[in-house]
Amino acid sequence: MLIQTSHSSDNFHINIDIEMPRMPCDVISLDVEDSMGYHVVDYYGEMVKYRMSADGDMLDPETEAERSVSRDDLFNRILKELNDGQGCRFKGFLEV
């Protein structure tokens, strides 16, 4: 993770590139909270989740449609991802 500050503002630019080889993308989220208590659950912004095979190869990015499925469909997809040994690469940036 790389954090850069901007001299012209009070914002931090945070680059994130994390590989979790045994954690399916569907069970990973990024929550953001500032010092004033503003809280964002499952932040996406400029973040992309890339599925990884059990061998560590990049498969495909998570799509917007995949985020909007029923709980039953999501549960079944997570079981399949766990059985396949999928992992996740979580990459992008956020401004805080």
For the chain, domain boundaries: 2-95
Max Cα distance, the chain (Å) = 48
pTM: 0.73
Rounded CA gap, 29 and 2, in Å? 19
Would you place residue 2 in the very low, low, confident or very high pLDDT band (cuts 50, 70, 90)? low
Alpha-carbon gap, residue 2 to 93, rounded angstroms: 9
Top pLDDT among 6 and 80 is at: 80
Q: What is the pLDDT of residues 10-60, one digit of tens each?
A: 777 888 899 999 999 988 887 777 677 776 666 656 888 999 999 999 999
pLDDT score of 44: 59
**What is the predicted pLDDT for the residue at 29?**
82
